Structure 1
Amino acid sequence: MEELRGLAAEVRKAVSDKGGKVIYEYNEFYGDPEPGPPVSEAGLSEPLINMLRSRGIERLYRFQWEAVNLANKGEDVVVISGTGTGKTEAFMIPVLERALRSRGEVVALLVYPTKALARDQARRLSSMMSGVGVPFAILDGDTPRDERRRIYENPPPILITNPDMLHVGLALSKDYRELVSTVGLVVIDELHVYQGVFGSHAKWILYRLQREAKGEVQFVGSAATIGNPEQLASELFSKEVAVVRGPRRRRGAATHLFVDYGNNSRWSFASYLISALTKLDLKVLAFTDSQQMAELVARIAKRSFSAEVGVHRAGLPVEQRKEVERAFAQGMLRAVVATSTLELGIDIGDLDAVVMASLPKSFSSYLQRAGRAGRRGRPGVIVTLLGDDPIEAYYASRPADFFNRPPDPGYIEPSNREVAKLHLVALSLQRGALRASELPAALLQVLNEVEEMGLVRARGDVVLATPRAAQDYVEARGIRSTGPIVKLHHGGRVIGEREMPMALYDLHPGAVYYHGGKVYLSTSLDLGRMRAELSPLPESVSFYTKPLYDIDVIDFSPQDSRLAGPVRLAYGDVHVMVSVRGYVVKDESSGQVLSEVYYEEPIKWDYITKGVMLKYPLLDFGGVEQSLSAYHALEHVLISASRPIVGASDTDLSGVSYPTGHIVIYDSHVGGNGASRLVFERLEEIEGMAEAIVGSCTCEDGCPRCVFSPYCGNNNKYLSRKGALKVLRALRGLGPERPEGLPSGGMRAA
């Protein structure tokens, strides 16, 4: 307790020394979960009892015992329990019991969301497996060819892998299919990660695994935080599950501090704080929700505060990320700035502090990140910067509400057509021949399109893969995205990549792009070849860029509709056109606009995704511009309020508004990610939070704390907080009756 108080006091002083202020402190102290039976009375085999006792475990926790009992009976189970509470034992005991009965074949798969995490967890779990004399193997893209051959010839009872390997192996390798066909138990750890596009891919990969299995496949899922485990797991596993719950929160002691960074910029204050904490001899992991901001924070920390800070994010070479992990774990690096890539449990050693440069996209994500600090019996401190952001302002005035929130729901879009196309082709390669009449509806609906692409051919009811299906499609497409990938070129080589449509916003000509600790200028973006050319900028550059763009909704095809009070809403396919017409240049330290640049011709790209169309009461605001400002502000605040309600990040959802009262909120990923479906289902909750945000703000008529968005393509022009509030209050019976119908045909964004 005293150690924790001292740690928090040091951090408070560092905050105040730079003009910041701690506006809320939350302390958590959690002991052991509720006890269960002694291991000798839990119905376990003798080798398991001896192994657990050798690890100092004489008694199971109650939730572990419940999960083990259900799993040993063959039921599909999801275990939800806080960080460090013993989820691993809950799924490993059934795995090891099954492995002890195996006869020269793989009986259990341990699936982790990334290759790095799978290998990291294999090191942690090896003592448990060797403790009962059960061999295991890691099989992923890095497994050498001769090692793969040994695995195929002498299968271990337990295989550790990742979804990417499952996807490619099932589609392209007969040996791999035979290897996993005997699997009876599949563990999906870090279940909360299987959301959005990645979750949609995982659903079909697990479906394909079940198609290959010789018997029934049982699933055990595990996660620390998720609001709808039964719904998400049932969607992923294509079967009903039982949910076992342990303690919601982490084990151990930690202090959480909400900090107002005063007159500093968010990114410079985060950089300062990282530097200040490392000077206190604390080991610090900082998080941002943007690849570019991770690079920027590390750059400012190094340039302005002489701090040696590593960067860990997607888009960097794997070896570079591994080197950062090694240096951080061994103490050669005292600070790392990361995106969600280090949110999972990769071993990076003991951490003293976690700094979040902004409030994470979801409460579940917050708990995951906070859980990295103070593990292995040490206290930790978690600092979160709150500033001019609608949701941050909301929780700055209601901090207790934040810590009392339930975990966010997980979401996927199982009918994503881009995802379905890939897995229809992969399944046709995997099975040799398919019967169209036996395909799930989501795969059947894309059959004609895939045939037109020349990837399969249908002969009556039989579907066969074409010769080009493997190399041209399955091998060329990953499962972490759905949009085309833009390759980043510099000096005659590829130095990175970015998925569309985000690549259009980050790599338009004239964009400043941070990569691997260096600063580049995007000199060209060729969308035909999906290629961006970068040239280096001097280290002294002190500005960054933001795109200016318009969104056109070319077409909307409704699939579902309902009424939410006076609001008519529909969910369906949205055909979107993005037009980048220029960019603004902003000062790195202050965020002030230095200049605006416009292209002679906009850069355009279109795609189809999922979205929800809303029709709000058409109120009299005194003119078209005033109406445009009201509904534009409403669109912004609805998207902001969606973040905590549906667990979506800023970049999961985008929107378009019209002075007619129509608003379209759509998934930012090609084909859809599932977030807008939750907006469709939970609009009333979102509107309630939106009204609280605009109703409690004291600005004149719009500011960063209520209706501004850092992702606004119009640079936050034409916004009216009062207009948005007027519409939201009209929903409570203060305004017109329900409007009729939805517009037909295409619409032009204002």
Structure 2
Amino acid sequence: MSNYRCPNCKNSNYVEIEKIFDKRLLFLCSKCKICIFVEGNKFNRNLDEVYLDFLEQYDNGNFTKINELKNLLEQEKIIRPFYEIQKILEKNNLVKNVLLKKILFTEKDYLADFRIIDEIQNQKGSDVEDLPVNQKIIDYLKEVNINCLYKFQEESIIKILRGKDVIIIAPTASGKTEAFTIPIIERIRSELEEINNKNSANRILALFIYPTKALERDQLIKIEKIAKLLDISVKIFDGDIKTNERDQFYKNPPNILITNFDTIHYHLINNTKFARLLNTIKYMVIDEVHTYTGIFGSNIHFIMKRLERLLKTRRIQIIASSATLPNAEQFCNELFTRRLEIIKENGRKGRINFAILYPTLRTHRSLLLDLTKRMIKHGHKTIVFNNSHQSAELFAFHAKRNGIDIRVHRSGILPKVRKTIEELFKTDKLMVVSATPTLELGIDIGDIDSVISNIVPINRLIQRFGRAARKGQEGYAFLALGNDPISQYYKSHPEDYYLDQEIPYTDASNPFVKEIQILAMSMDKPISIFESKSLNDTIQILLSKKLIQLSENNFIPTARGMEVIKKFNLRGIGTSVYIYFNNRKIGERNLPQALDELYPNAIYFLGGTRFQVETSYISEYNDLELIKYAKLISIPKNYPYYTKPIVEEFPEILEIYEQKKIYEMEVKYCSLKIIKKITGYSNIEIGKEESKGKKIFFDEPIIYQYVTNGIIFKVPKPSNILLKYENNQNIEMSGYHASEHVLIEGSSMITGGASQDLGGISLGSSGIIVIHDSAIGGNGASKTLFERFEKAIDRAFKILSECSCTNEDGCPRCTYSYRCGNNNEFLHKKTAIEVLYRIMENEKIELTDIGLFEKAFI
């Protein structure tokens, strides 16, 4: 309740003010029952100025009675009409579902879509008696009540037994592990029987690779149950095993080794005993293969080559698996440089009530908190999926403030803490977890009833809500749309959400990955002059940098080269920035991303706790071996702010790879040098998400430069809009800046969620826009956008045109970007609309003057 006076009944303390998603405010008097919509943040007015507008609207007779408000909200698509929601419930026999009715009839959100995701039975295959495997395996399957296989399991077993490379695509908890474990164990048994030698039996024949240590330990139990039937040994080896376990491993190596690519890379470059034990491998399972995207996938591509280089067998049979991979053939061919046969199953367990909700009269966070509270109140165990570690931490922070017992599950937390959280959740001692995509993977965390997710592509969401209702109970899944352009689009076009799939991508041609991996190859085993012929360009670069040297007709690493490779992180090209608290290392972040989080005085989230960066040493990028670190200090629990950096970026074209015309606009895909500067930061008030106080600028900016890939193009001049303004240069620049924002944010689902891996630069009034990969050397995201750029332009135009906001700069639903380095300043919605319209009208634009010295907006 506010202190403002109602102009109708003349009473104070009865006027309520509610924010609407399009930046308008709704003034309501609970005493005399009148209400008025008022423009909120137009021209950055304060609330007193908005109140004057409320009074003026009243004087002009522009008010509505509260009993008519509901109709008005329905007409403006702020809430869904009651009868439409009722019809949906009746159609799906859900009229008696009290929980769902409370959620759908809140009158705080717009129901964009609702549907039942029905259980789909997997296609049945043959009786287990018909399997060409050892009778002990058949007897075991019968003991656990598996008398008939699914069709995809049968097909997988037969093809793997025949030596085929395959990719198994089937839903979570559908039996993929059995589909690849049974045939591999059968082949190992046959091979060991042929050898008939006890010493030879103690060798590693199969590698089972998982993306996380938690998943390794979870899957070990399943695999061991089958393997021990035939006396096949299975062990885990990774960075978490203890010294005595390591000693036992070396004495008695297993037939099946469960590990991860990080461990393999470490031991190959150090030429350890473990690395030497890998040279007998014949079979390799890569589970959750869709996770090996971007830079990480580029590294995995080369690790596979390095591993095969050292093998006595010379060729590994590859078995990959995933719950979702729409471009399986293309992706696996890029990752493994070979064709894998696709085996697919579309079934799923349990019935899911699925709703897409768009918060209109409350914030996105309020929607998430409300859904979480309702699920817990009805006894439904819930995962709230976030798309970044910061958003997972922020949600848990607010949930705790609202009395919710919650934990954060994400990468980077200590293994002991992670296991405790998983056990609490599995045993129903914890009812809700705030998670990053770590819990999309197949870790056994017990029965889940509901999933609440931030926006992700539909195939990622299906994997997320595959967590719910696995035991056949009724489940719930909610997609909570947010304050962003793509959410605004899906509110109006929910049918497109189901068509916009994530297409995993990787870039095996990344020159920086290739450089570091060839250096690693020289550490695995010296590269002969003969072998180096196919690698000549990279070898010459490494020689010029004095990272390798020629010795007795072999290329070997120098001391400097060895130092560089030992500090390298597989999951990113950039040097790691080490994070310290109380003189103890508590984490690390890769550059260039660390620039945005670990500058002096930045507020940094870790494990649900906020810290402040006391000192930061992130010097200008000169070479890979520079040490970089940040020291944190604690802050009071009630500290009201977090921080956002002020960023500048400057591009330089190094090489043009490809160019084409989109409509009549010239677009180039090229190699770029990006100079990134952090010049200061803003304080953001938690809860209100608004900047407070003046921007703080550093005496000297933090500078980092790196080479990556991206697209560059010049957009048409918005002549019609510019005629309306005398001093129009800022209007023009702001229009180009807004166009850059919406082309990145609005194309997210067209590119399979790639916007999180992209950065953008708008070069002043030149009309030149650069959209680049955020990773050093490139990650494939901008190439994906380049290939689908015409559709991205169409989508961006629709988002701007259909957004109902009347603010000159637009709003979070159309022009704003949470990644904006200029704090969403210098934006102009109507100018951006004209720019995109002119492109679609085939206005001819050639990229001539690249205008690199213009002021850049990002």
TM range (shorter): over 0.9
CA, structure 1 residues 300+16, in 2 after alignment: closer, same or farther (shift >3 Å)? farther
Pair 1:329-2:426 in alignment: yes
2:761 maps to what in 1? 656
1: distance between equivalents of 2:231 and 2:143?
14
Q: CA deviation at 1:48?
A: 3.3
2: distance between equivalents of 1:86 and 1:430?
36
1:526 maps to what in 2? 617
2:22 maps to what in 1? none
Pair 1:309-2:403 in alignment: no
2: distance between equivalents of 1:432 and 1:32?
53
1: distance between equivalents of 2:305 and 2:747?
30
2: distance between equivalents of 1:7 and 1:572?
58
TM-score by length of 2: 0.81
1:320 maps to what in 2? 417
**Residues 350-365 of structure 1 aligned to structure 2 (within 5 Å):** 350-356=447-453, 358-360=454-456, 362-365=457-460
1: distance between equivalents of 2:550 and 2:425?
53
**Residues 293-692 of structure 1 aligned to structure 2 (within 5 Å):** 293-303=391-401, 305-356=402-453, 358-360=454-456, 362-403=457-498, 405=499, 407-435=501-529, 437-438=531-532, 441=535, 444-458=536-550, 462-467=554-559, 469-470=561-562, 472-528=563-619, 529-599=627-697, 600-620=699-719, 621-622=721-722, 623-658=728-763, 659-692=765-798
Is the partner of 1:578 in helix, strand or coil? strand
1: distance between equivalents of 2:852 and 2:731?
24
1: distance between equivalents of 2:855 and 2:316?
49
Q: 1:239-270 CA deviation, whole Å, 9 max, x = no partner?
A: 122112211x5322111122233433323442
Equivalent position to 1:242, from 333, 341, 358: 341
Pair 1:32-2:140 in alignment: no
* Uncovered stretches (5+) of structure 1, i.e. residues with no partner: none
Contact 1:20–1:261 (8 Å) recurs in 2: yes
1: distance between equivalents of 2:443 and 2:169?
19
Is the partner of 1:367 in helix, strand or coil? helix
Contact 2:569–2:576 (8 Å) recurs in 1: no
CA, structure 1 residues 222+407, in 2 after alignment: closer, same or farther (shift >3 Å)? farther
Contact 1:264–1:590 (8 Å) recurs in 2: no
1: distance between equivalents of 2:212 and 2:169?
20
Code of the aligned partner of 1:299: F
1:730 maps to what in 2? 838
Is the partner of 2:191 in helix, strand or coil? coil
Contact 2:112–2:492 (8 Å) recurs in 1: no
Q: CA deviation at 1:231?
A: 0.9
Q: CA deviation at 1:148?
A: 3.2
**Residues 151-190 of structure 1 aligned to structure 2 (within 5 Å):** 151-190=249-288
Contact 1:363–1:647 (8 Å) recurs in 2: no
Code of the aligned partner of 1:450: L
Is the partner of 1:255 in helix, strand or coil? strand
Contact 1:328–1:348 (8 Å) recurs in 2: yes
Count of matched residue positions in the alignment of Structure 1 and Structure 2: 741
Equivalent position to 2:372, from 274, 285, 304: 274
Code of the aligned partner of 1:455: L
Q: CA deviation at 1:150?
A: 3.5
Contact 2:160–2:184 (8 Å) recurs in 1: no
Equivalent position to 2:825, from 717, 722, 734: 717
Q: CA deviation at 1:191?
A: 0.9
2: distance between equivalents of 1:737 and 1:714?
30
2: distance between equivalents of 1:371 and 1:254?
9
Pair 1:253-2:253 in alignment: no
1: distance between equivalents of 2:709 and 2:274?
35
2: distance between equivalents of 1:199 and 1:244?
22
CA, structure 1 residues 437+570, in 2 after alignment: closer, same or farther (shift >3 Å)? farther
Contact 1:313–1:339 (8 Å) recurs in 2: yes
Q: 1:72-106 CA deviation, whole Å, 9 max, x = no partner?
A: 22221111122233322322232122121233132
CA, structure 1 residues 263+118, in 2 after alignment: closer, same or farther (shift >3 Å)? same
1: distance between equivalents of 2:247 and 2:418?
28
Q: CA deviation at 1:650?
A: 4.2
**Residues 119-268 of structure 1 aligned to structure 2 (within 5 Å):** 119-215=217-313, 216-247=315-346, 250-268=348-366
CA, structure 1 residues 519+406, in 2 after alignment: closer, same or farther (shift >3 Å)? closer
Is the partner of 2:404 in helix, strand or coil? coil
Code of the aligned partner of 2:734: S
Larger deviation, residues 88-97 vs 707-716 = 88-97
2: distance between equivalents of 1:445 and 1:67?
41
CA, structure 1 residues 278+435, in 2 after alignment: closer, same or farther (shift >3 Å)? farther
* Uncovered stretches (5+) of structure 2, i.e. residues with no partner: 1-88, 193-200, 620-626, 723-727
Code of the aligned partner of 1:516: G
Superposed CA RMSD in Å reads: 2.6
Code of the aligned partner of 2:408: V
Code of the aligned partner of 1:625: N
Code of the aligned partner of 1:431: K
2: distance between equivalents of 1:144 and 1:333?
29
CA, structure 1 residues 440+154, in 2 after alignment: closer, same or farther (shift >3 Å)? farther
Q: CA deviation at 1:663?
A: 1.4
1: distance between equivalents of 2:590 and 2:134?
49
2: distance between equivalents of 1:354 and 1:194?
24
CA, structure 1 residues 536+143, in 2 after alignment: closer, same or farther (shift >3 Å)? closer
Contact 2:357–2:478 (8 Å) recurs in 1: yes
Q: 1:510-559 CA deviation, whole Å, 9 max, x = no partner?
A: 32222222222223322135222222221112322222211111444222
2: distance between equivalents of 1:38 and 1:445?
55
CA, structure 1 residues 603+268, in 2 after alignment: closer, same or farther (shift >3 Å)? farther
2: distance between equivalents of 1:527 and 1:464?
30
Contact 2:502–2:753 (8 Å) recurs in 1: no
Q: CA deviation at 1:124?
A: 2.6
Q: CA deviation at 1:644?
A: 0.6
Q: 1:189-209 CA deviation, whole Å, 9 max, x = no partner?
A: 101101011111111111111
Is the partner of 1:257 in helix, strand or coil? strand
Pair 1:749-2:856 in alignment: yes
Is the partner of 2:173 in helix, strand or coil? coil
CA, structure 1 residues 7+156, in 2 after alignment: closer, same or farther (shift >3 Å)? farther
1: distance between equivalents of 2:204 and 2:395?
45
1: distance between equivalents of 2:796 and 2:518?
40
Higher relative contact order (CA 8 A, sep 6+): 1
Larger radius of gyration: 2
Q: 1:396-445 CA deviation, whole Å, 9 max, x = no partner?
A: 22223323x2632111121223322332122111123333654655xx44
Contact 2:569–2:575 (8 Å) recurs in 1: no
CA, structure 1 residues 412+454, in 2 after alignment: closer, same or farther (shift >3 Å)? same
2: distance between equivalents of 1:7 and 1:582?
55
Code of the aligned partner of 2:760: G
Code of the aligned partner of 1:287: F
2: distance between equivalents of 1:746 and 1:570?
19
1: distance between equivalents of 2:448 and 2:286?
26
